[in-house]
Each structure stands twice: as C-alpha cells, then as structure tokens.
Structure 1
Amino acid sequence: MTSLKNRTIVMSGGSRGIGLAILVAAARQGANAVLLAKTDHPDPRLPGTVHSAVEQIETAGGEAVAVVGDVRAEDDVARAVATAVDRFGGVDIVINNASALNLSGTLDLTPKRYDLMQQINAKGAFQLSRAALPHLFASDDPQIVSLSPPINLAPRWLGRFPAYTLSKYGMTLLTLGFAAEFAERGVRANCLWPQTTIATAAVVNLLGGRDAASRARRPEIMADAAVALLSDPARPSGEVFLDVEALARAGVRDLSGYGGTDDPELDFFVDEL
C-alpha cells in the first residue's frame, strides 16, 4: 500500500461519525485535512464540532484546519479549497462525506426537504469536487472519493424513499462521471459504501435507536476501508466499493474487531452479506 503521508484531504462534513473516523485514520499515516462543516458550536443532539474534530485529527498525528461553512454555499466551498492550498500547498484528495438523510416517502416529503437533500448530497459532491479539480490536476496522485452507494435498481429500493435514493445515486453517478471525464488528467474517482449499518448518531437517532446500533459495525471499518482504497497500489478508478471489498483488496478479511454481532444489519441498497 502507498502512504498517505503529507497528502492533503479536503472533506465536506467530518465533525463526527464516519467522516471523522476516516480523517483520524488518515492522520495516523501523516495526512493533512481541511474540514468544511457547519458545526461551529456543540449540538445537544449530536457529539462534536469541527473544532473538536481538528483536535482528534492532530492527536492522531496529522495536521488539520477547520473551515466553518456549508457545502451548499459556493463561497464556503471555495474558501475550504483555498485554505488547503494556502496552508498545505495544494489538494490531493477530495472526500465527499457530507450528507442529508430523510427517509420519508414521496407524499410525506416536503419540497423544501427534497431540495435540502439534493443540495447537500448531489450538488455538494459536484460543487466541492469542481472547486478542487484545478488543484487536483497538479497532484501526483489526485483522488476523489464519495461516500455513496452502488446503483441498485431493485424495485424495493427504488420505491422505498425515492428522493433520498436519487440524491445518493446522484453522488455515485457524478463520481463515476468524474472518473471518466478526467481520466486523461490522472484523476481517480471512486465511491465507498458500508456493507452494513454503521453505529453513528444517525443510526441511533433515526434508524432504530440502541437496538439498531447493536447490529451496526463501528465507523472504524469505513475508516480503514477508505485508507485502504486511497492507498491501493492498483490505483482503481471508476468503481463503487463496499467497505468489505476495499478491505479485502488490502488482505483484511477478519471483520470481528468492528462489531455488529454475528448478524449485522445490511445498509441501504445492499442485498446480501
């Protein structure tokens, strides 16, 4: 595996959960990070802020800068990318992590909530990747990774929560499009998605509480998978990997340390272990 030492990551979100776990794991290899997130102050419902995330990343061995802003705002996105260039000299990796989750059906979802999901998920991935691309072109190994799922067109997924599905599939299609569009410029772009639910605040608050969390794997499985994908000497591009697939490519098949019991809950858009 190649090293992430001195590589600079720009991530949307990252104050907590999977995004923070990825940045901490990358920091252990000496990566730099710029986090664009809105969590300037603590939320009583959720742990952590963008500032406490920076502290954890730096404790793990990396350097990090917090940019308080919204991935929906073009000026905030530009400021995050400019911060990476000014502080670390460029951008090597973009991770589209920020995401809005609303599992309402069509009749229960308001147009305002629909717009929010599309703007954070699909538009956010487009906007951050686009802003970083001129600097990615100058990197010797530019990468884009979006935390978005395989395109599963089974009716049970298409009919479950169409608006959320559209927003996440939009991230995937954009990322695969970037891989094709910028292949000759050396940019690699892939998607990463958990095979099972992950024990984050979203699982506890929205998807079944503590019982659901007990059948979920820990965020570290996605963190290790992301580091494995970013460091993969085969340099894949234009693919969608489940976390277990990215780990298997790195020779990791024993998942017992990641929790989730012997019968973990499959994540959305995944049909089998």
Structure 2
Amino acid sequence: MNTDLNNKTIVMSGGSRGIGLAIALRAARDGANIVLIAKTAQPDPRLNGTIFDAAEQIEAAGGKALPVVGDVRSDDTIAGAVRAAVDRFGGIDICVNNASVLDLSGTVDLQPKRYDLMQDVNTRGTFMLTRACAPYLKQAVNPHVLTLSPPLNLTPRWLGAHVGYTIAKYGMSLCTLGFAAEFAEDGIAANSLWPRTTIATDAVANIHGGAQTLARSRRTEIMADAAYLILTSASRERTGGLLIDEDVLREAGVTDLSGYAFVEGTTEFETDLFLD
C-alpha cells in the first residue's frame, strides 16, 4: 500500500528550514496540509528564513500551511497547534518530530542550561507533541509518527563522544520504539529516520564542520524523499524502525543517489553522527 499525501494533515515541530522544510515541501507537492511549530518569526542573520517564509514556500508548492509561532517546550504551544490543526483541517494524520537542538560539547564543558534545552526540545518535545497528536492519529487512516533521530549505537565511540547530546537524541529514538509498541493495535506507525551522510543544513554550516563538511554532504531532499516513502507506506506494516535515508531509498529501487550531492560530482561523503 502506497498512497499520496493529498489532503493529509501533518503537524511538525520545527520545519521553518532545513530537513523539516524539505519534508514539508515534498508533502506539499501532493497537496498536504502542514502545521508548523517554530520560533523563528523574525529574520535571524545566523539562520535562513522564518516560519512565514516556510509557509509561503509550502503554499507555492501546492500545499496548505498553518504557521504556529511557538516553542515545542511549551505545553500550551503544543496544545494550541494541535487544536488549530483539528479546527482548520478536521484532524491529524501525521506527526513529525523534527525540532532538535545540537550541542556536541563534552560533559565538563556542556552548560546545564544547554543540557536542559536539548532534553526539553529533543526528547520531551518528541514525547509531548506525539502525546497531543495521538488521540487524533487513532482516528486517522494510515497514521504515522516520524521522528528525526538515529539508530541506537551503543559503542563507546558514540556513547562517550558527547554524552548530553547522545542522551537527548537516543531519547527520541527510544520514544519511537515505545510508541510503535504502545500504539500497534491502533495502527499508528512510529519510525525514526536518520541520514547516512551529513546533510547541508545551517547546523552543519555553523556548528558541525563548516564549509569542509558541507562540501561532503548531501542535500536535504534525500531525507525528504525517504520520509515521503515512509509516510506513504502502510502504517500497520512499517513501524518500529530506526531507519537510514539511503536504505529506505534503495529498498524502493532508487540506486543512483548522485543527484543528492550538495556539491555536484562529489563521491566521498561525510558519514553522519552515530553511524559507523
């Protein structure tokens, strides 16, 4: 079973740029309704675009956009976004947990407020947004929860690299496994998706490697295309996966990934975090 996303309603944390926006735009091409929760209401010189810019792009791509300015750490913001989605579009079909904070500091250097921020946005935000969407997902046809988080790699290399960030991201993946088990009888699929290589986003440009890493990265569209394949699959048949983008594409018969290179002609890519 593969259906398109026409008239499906997606509630997404983040999504004003990067991978989240790419996923939203891919869904918009089918005519999906996208509810974005993001903080960037005003232009920021360090970041590309605002939530309103993203909404315009979604509408231009063929979808319907509902921007909700707020913080996924806020229970009131989450409740308001879910209520707005139901009021405007009649229900919720898909929850995408995209918002995430990246800080690769070691244990001694990681400031308490940054630790708390990562836990609150990454793990708590994933749990609480899914919790709020779940009653409506139970009523949907082919409901999905998709979380952008990695496989659980318990090798010392990754457990010791940046403990605070690792806990926050693995918490998201544990949510996926837990949701898949808890909501199996309701037919709600819960999967995680992670890129095999680094992806050309603001986070990579500004925090994780800069220009050299960007040159060895792939475009956000590879994650969007992989997400689309997951979200259009049968929810009762594909759940509980901690999936990798290129594996999802290859499984679907996509063998030539060269077009996803951020720099045309690149053949050597930077492997992303948590992957050996």
Normalized against structure 1, the TM-score is what? 0.98
How many Å apart are 1:48 and its aligned residue?
0.5
Equivalent AA in structure 1 for residue 102 of structure 2: L
**Any idea what SS the aligned residue of 1:212 has?**
helix
Distance 2:57 2:213 in 1: 26
Could you tell me which residue of structure 2 aligns to residue 262 of structure 1? 267
Could you tell me which residue of structure 1 aligns to residue 107 of structure 2? 106
Distance 2:255 2:88 in 1: 38
In structure 1, runs of 5+ residues without a counterpart are none
Equivalent AA in structure 1 for residue 275 of structure 2: V
> Structure 1 residues 233 and 128, CA, compared in 2 at 3 Å: closer, same or farther?
closer
Q: Deviations over 1:159-181 (max 9, x none)?
A: 00011000000000011100100
How many Å apart are 1:208 and its aligned residue?
1.9
**Any idea what SS the aligned residue of 2:259 has?**
helix
Alignment of 1:23-34 (within 5 A): 23-34=24-35
**Any idea what SS the aligned residue of 1:189 has?**
strand
CA contact (8 A) 1:29 1:61 kept: yes
Determine whether 1:42 maps to 2:43: yes
CA contact (8 A) 1:179 1:237 kept: yes
Equivalent AA in structure 1 for residue 227 of structure 2: A
Distance 1:227 1:193 in 2: 13
How many Å apart are 1:233 and its aligned residue?
4.4
Could you tell me which residue of structure 1 aligns to residue 240 of structure 2? 238
**Any idea what SS the aligned residue of 2:191 has?**
strand
Could you tell me which residue of structure 1 aligns to residue 251 of structure 2? 249
**Any idea what SS the aligned residue of 1:113 has?**
helix
CA contact (8 A) 1:232 1:250 kept: no
Cα RMSD over matched residues?
0.9
Could you tell me which residue of structure 1 aligns to residue 219 of structure 2? 218
Could you tell me which residue of structure 2 aligns to residue 54 of structure 1? 55
Normalized against structure 2, the TM-score is what? 0.96
Question: Is the deviation greater in 123-132 or in 1-10?
Answer: 1-10
CA contact (8 A) 2:142 2:234 kept: no
Could you tell me which residue of structure 1 aligns to residue 117 of structure 2? 116
Alignment of 1:1-273 (within 5 A): 1-233=2-234, 235-260=237-262, 261-271=266-276
Q: Deviations over 1:176-200 (max 9, x none)?
A: 1001001111111000000000000
Distance 1:80 1:119 in 2: 18
Equivalent AA in structure 1 for residue 34 of structure 2: A
Sequence identity percentage: 60
Distance 1:267 1:77 in 2: 30
How many Å apart are 1:249 and its aligned residue?
2.4
Equivalent AA in structure 1 for residue 269 of structure 2: P
Distance 2:233 2:82 in 1: 25
Which structure 1 residue ranges, 4+ long, deviate > 4 Å from structure 2?
A: none
> Structure 1 residues 233 and 135, CA, compared in 2 at 3 Å: closer, same or farther?
closer
